[in-house]
Amino acid sequence: MIKIKKDVVVIGGGPAGLAAAAKVYDNGIKDVMLLERDFELGGILPQCIHNGFGLHHFGEELTGPEYSQRFENKVEERDIEVKLDTMVLDVTADKKVFAMNKDQGAMEIQAKAVILAMGCRERTAGAIGIPGTRPAGVLTAGTAQRFTNIEGYVPGKKVVILGSGDIGLIMARRMRLEGADVKAVCEILPYTGGLTRNVVQCLEDYDIPLMLNHTVTKIIGNDRLEAVEITEVDENMKPIPETSEIVEADTLLLSVGLIPENELSKKADVVLDDRTGGPIVNEGRETNIDGIFACGNVLHVHDLVDWVTEESEIAGEWTAKYVKGDYKRSEQKMNVKAGENVAYVIPQSIELDAEDRKRIPLYMRVDKPLQAVDIILYADGEKLYSFSEPFAKPGEMISVPLAQKTLDDLDEVSEIRVDIIEKEEE
Amino acid sequence: MLEKKTITCVACPKGCEITVEHDGDEIIDIMGNACPQGADYAKEEIIAKTRILPTTVRVKNGALPLCPVKTTKQIPLELMDQAMNKIGKKEVEAPLKVGQVIIKNLLDTGADVVATRDLPAN
Ligand SMILES: Cc1cc2nc3c(=O)[nH]c(=O)nc-3n(C[C@H](O)[C@H](O)[C@H](O)COP(=O)(O)OP(=O)(O)OC[C@H]3O[C@@H](n4cnc5c(N)ncnc54)[C@H](O)[C@@H]3O)c2cc1C
Ligand code: SF4
C-alpha cells in the first residue's frame, strides 16, 4: 500500500469540497489533496442543468454545470492535487484516510486535517414503505435527473412525482419539456418542501397540478409500473380511503428527502446530530474530533448551493488555521440551541477564539411555515435581540447573524437559543 | 375587465407575494413588492411570461452523450415546446467549451443557445 503524507485531505469533489480546498490553499496551506470517486469534479451539479444557482454568491443566475465549472477552475488554477475515480473507504479519528483507485491501488494518507464533503443521498421507496410491487419505473428524482441530463435517456412517458422537494419539482418540468405527460406532484404535507420559485416556474408555468395533503398509497404493475393509487390524507397524515384514485403511470419519481452521507464520518468516531443527520460542529465547522471538519450536504441538507459555498469557505478557513496551530477550542463553550419552531441550527456550538470576526452566521430551518415572524435570540434565556421577516418556510434556509460585539459583551453564557415565532401584533 | 392577480415574485429568494390589478395588458396597481425589481417582474408575468430554457443537446464523439445548454436570455414561455423541438433536432461535435454558441438566434427570439459546460472529446 502506498503511504502518503498531506497537510489537508478533502473527501468529495462537489461544490463543498471544491470551495473548501481552494480556501485552505488561499489561507496559506498549499499541501492539499482532493479525493473524488466520480470521473469528474462537481458532485451533483453537472446533472443540475437548470438555472437558479449563484444569485447570492455571484449576483448572477447560473446553471449547475456553470456554477460548478467556476469552482473547478479555481481548484485547477491552484496547485491542488486532485485524484479522480478515487474512492475513500475509511477515515480514522487520528486522520488516516484510506482510499483506492485503479492506477495506484490502495493508499493510506496521513493528514493533519480532514474535510468531510461527501454530500448526501436520496431517500428511496424502501425508506418510506409504500405498499405494492416494486416494478421498473419507480426511481428517485435524482436518478431520473442523471438519466435524462447526463446519460441521455428519458425514463418514462406518463409520470407521477411523489414529494415536492426541489429535485422533484425540477424534474417535473424537465420531463414535461422532454415530452412526458406529468400528471401530478403529490405532497403529503399541507405545504411544499421546495423553493417558491420552483413551484412557480416548474409547476404553475406548465399547469402541472400540485396535490397537497395527498400521497401515493399503492404501486401497481408487475414488470413495469402501470399505475399508482393516489389518496388524500387527513390532518394526521392518515390516508382517507374513499378519496383514492388510480392514476395510470409508467414512472413514479420519488423526491422524498435527502440524507447526509455519513458512513465515513461514523468510522472516524464523529458524533452526528439526530436532527440534521450530519456531524455536530462548532462555528469553524469542526466536528467533535480535533482537525476533522465537515461542510456542504454532508453536514446538513442545503437548498441553495450558494450557502454550501459560504459554509465550505468557513470550513476551509478554519482548517487552514488548525494546521497552522492558530487556534484552540476555548474553555468556555456555548451551545447553540434550536428553540421554538426551529428544526435545527448550525453550528451547534461556539467555542473558537477569533479576534477579527464581526459576526457568526447561524443557519437554521423552521419546523412549520409561518407568515410574519420574529426571529429571537436568547443568551441563557435572556433576550438579546430580534429580527422580523415576512415569512419562514421549512424549504428555505434562514441565515441569522450573531454579532461578535454582542458575544463580547456576554460572559459565562452557556447557551444561545433561537426561536422563530409568529410576530406579535403591534 | 378589471382583474386582480397574486404573483409570487421569484426575482430574488425573498419571494414577496405581489398583488397586481390589471385590465388586460394595462396595469392599474401593484402592491406587496418590497423593491422595484418586483414591480417589473409582476408586470412581465401579466403581460408576457418569459423564461430561460435550460436543456441538453446531443453530442457526437463526446466524453458524454449530451451537453447541457441554455438560452442566453429569457424567451417567451409559450415558445418552450417549439424551442425544445428545435434543440432536440440538433447534434454537435465534441469538444465543446462553456459559452460556445450551439444555435444562433433561436426561433428569432434574439436568444442564442450556448453550452453550459466544457465537454472534452471522447
Ligand atoms: C439529486 C440531487 C439534485 C439536487 N439538485 C439541486 C438543485 O437543483 N439546486 C441546488 O441548489 N441544490 C441541489 N441539490 C443539493 C445539492 O446537492 C447541493 O446544493 C450541493 O451540490 C451540495 O454540495 P456537496 O459538495 O455538499 O455535495 P455533492 O454535490 O453531492 O458532492 C459530494 C461529492 O462527494 C463525492 N463522494 C462521496 N463519498 C465519497 C467517497 N467515499 N470517496 C470519494 N468521493 C466521495 C461524491 O461523488 C460527490 O462528487 C441536489 C442534490 C441532489 C442529491
Ligand atoms: S419584490 Fe423585490 S424583494 Fe420581493 S421577492 Fe421580488 S425582488 Fe425580492
pLDDT tens for each residue of A236-269: 999 999 999 999 999 999 998 899 999 999 999 9
Alpha helices in A94-228 (DSSP H): 125-128, 141-146, 166-177, 196-198
Same domain, A396 and A361: yes
Q: Are A141 and A255 in contact (CB under 8 A)?
A: yes
B16-19, Cβ contacts within 8 angstroms, sequence gap of 24 or more = B16/A390, B18/B42
Same domain, A266 and A247: no
User: With contacts defined as CB-CB under 8 Å, which chain B residues touch A391?
Assistant: 15
Query: Do the Cβ atoms of A66 and B52 come within 8 Å?
Result: no
Ligand 1 pocket member A297 (CB < 6 A): yes
Kindly state the DSSP code that residue A47 receives in the 8-state scheme.
Answer: G
Nearest to B66 among A152, A205, A396 (CB): A152
Ligand 2 pocket member B12 (CB < 6 A): yes
The amino acid present at A97, given as its one-letter code, is: V
The residue from A274, A297, A326 where one domain ends is A326
When pLDDT is cut at 50, 70 and 90, the band that residue B47 belongs to is: confident
User: With contacts defined as CB-CB under 8 Å, which chain A residues touch B116?
Assistant: 49, 63, 65-66
- Sheet containing A181-187, strands listed edge to edge, beginning at the edge strand earlier in sequence: A138-140, A251-254, A158-162, A181-187, A210-212
% of chain B residues with pLDDT over 90? 68
CATH 3.10.530.10 domain position(s) in chain B? 54-115
Same domain, A249 and A315: no
Q: Checking phi first, is residue A395 left (phi over 0); if not, alpha (psi -120 to 50) or beta? A: alpha
CATH number for the domain harbouring residue A414: 2.60.40
Task: State whether residue A316 is helix, strand or coil.
Answer: helix
Same domain, A129 and A103: no
Give the largest Cα separation in chain A, rounded: 69
Average pLDDT over residues A43-65: 92
Nearest to B10 among A151, A197, A304 (CB): A197
Let me know if residue A38 belongs to a domain.
Answer: yes
Residues A372-402 pLDDT 10s: 899 999 999 999 999 898 888 888 889 999 9
Same domain, A156 and A167: yes
Let me know if residue A414 belongs to a domain.
Answer: yes
Same domain, A142 and A176: yes
Give the largest Cα separation in chain B, rounded: 59
Residues A66-112 pLDDT 10s: 999 999 999 999 999 999 999 999 999 999 999 999 999 999 999 99
Whole-prediction pTM value?
0.91
Average pLDDT over residues B107-111: 96
User: With contacts defined as CB-CB under 8 Å, which chain A residues touch B49?
Assistant: 205
Q: Is the pLDDT of residue A225 over 80?
A: yes
Query: Do the Cβ atoms of B51 and A49 come within 8 Å?
Result: no
Let me know if residue A334 belongs to a domain.
Answer: no
The amino acid present at B31, given as its one-letter code, is: M
Could you give phi then psi for residue A274, rounded to 5 degrees?
Answer: -60, -35
When pLDDT is cut at 50, 70 and 90, the band that residue A3 belongs to is: very high
Same domain, A178 and A250: yes
Let me know if residue A336 belongs to a domain.
Answer: no
Same domain, A184 and A265: no
Residue B24, min C-alpha distance to chain A (Å): 19
How close are the terminal C-alpha atoms of chain A, in Å? 69
The residue from A229, A256, A283 where one domain ends is A256
Same domain, A378 and A426: yes
Q: Is the pLDDT of residue A426 over 60?
A: no
- Residue tagged 424567451 (cell numbers): B75
The ipTM, to two decimals, is: 0.87
The number of beta carbons lying within 10 Å of the beta carbon of residue B86 is 14
Average pLDDT over residues B16-40: 89
CATH number for the domain harbouring residue A227: 3.50.50.60
Paired residues of A293 in beta bridges: A115, A286
- Indicate the burial class of B105 (C-beta count within 10 angstroms; 0-12, 13-18, 19 or more): exposed
Parent domain of A227: 124-256
- Sheet containing A359-366, strands listed edge to edge, beginning at the edge strand earlier in sequence: A342-346, A359-366, A398-403
User: With contacts defined as CB-CB under 8 Å, which chain B residues touch A49?
Assistant: 54-56, 68, 70, 116
- Residue tagged 459554509 (cell numbers): A311
The amino acid present at A76, given as its one-letter code, is: E
Let me know if residue A332 belongs to a domain.
Answer: no
Let me know if residue A321 belongs to a domain.
Answer: yes
Query: Do the Cβ atoms of A177 and B81 come within 8 Å?
Result: yes
Choose the residue to mutate in A48, A50, A254 for probing ligand 1, maximizing ligand atoms within 8 Å of C-beta: A48
CB of B76 within 8 Å of a chain A CB? The answer is no
Q: Are A205 and B51 in contact (CB under 8 A)?
A: yes
Structural domain tally of chain A?
A: 3
The number of CA neighbours under 13 Å toward the Cβ of A91 is 29
The number of CA neighbours under 13 Å toward the Cβ of B35 is 8
Set of cell numbers at residue A330: 476555548
Same domain, A54 and A130: no
pLDDT at position B13 is: 65
DSSP string, A59-124: SS-EEHHHHHHHHHHHHHHTT-EEE-S-EEEEE-TT-EEEEEETTTEEEEEEEEEEEE---EEE--
Q: Say if domain B54-115 classifies as CATH 3.10.530.10.
A: yes
pLDDT at position A425 is: 66
Q: Which of B29, B39, B42, B36 is nearest to B3 (CA)?
A: B29
Let me know if residue A93 belongs to a domain.
Answer: yes
Ligand 1 pocket member A120 (CB < 6 A): yes
**Mean pLDDT over each residue of chain A, to the nearest integer:** 93
Q: Is the pLDDT of residue A127 over 70?
A: no
How many distinct helices (H) and strands (E) make up chain A? 9, 27
The amino acid present at A293, given as its one-letter code, is: F
pLDDT at position A380 is: 93
Same domain, A135 and A238: yes
Same domain, A241 and A308: no
CB pairs under 8 A between A and B: 75
Ligand 2 pocket member B14 (CB < 6 A): yes
| B81 membership: H or E segment, kind and range | helix B80-89
CA A213, A219, A225, A227 torsion-angle sign: negative
Let me know if residue A352 belongs to a domain.
Answer: yes
Using CA atoms, how far apart are residues A361 and A310, in angstroms rounded to an integer? 10
Using CA atoms, how far apart are residues A166 and A202, in angstroms rounded to an integer? 10
Q: Checking phi first, is residue A377 left (phi over 0); if not, alpha (psi -120 to 50) or beta? A: beta
Set of cell numbers at residue A391: 415569512
Paired residues of A374 in beta bridges: A388, A421
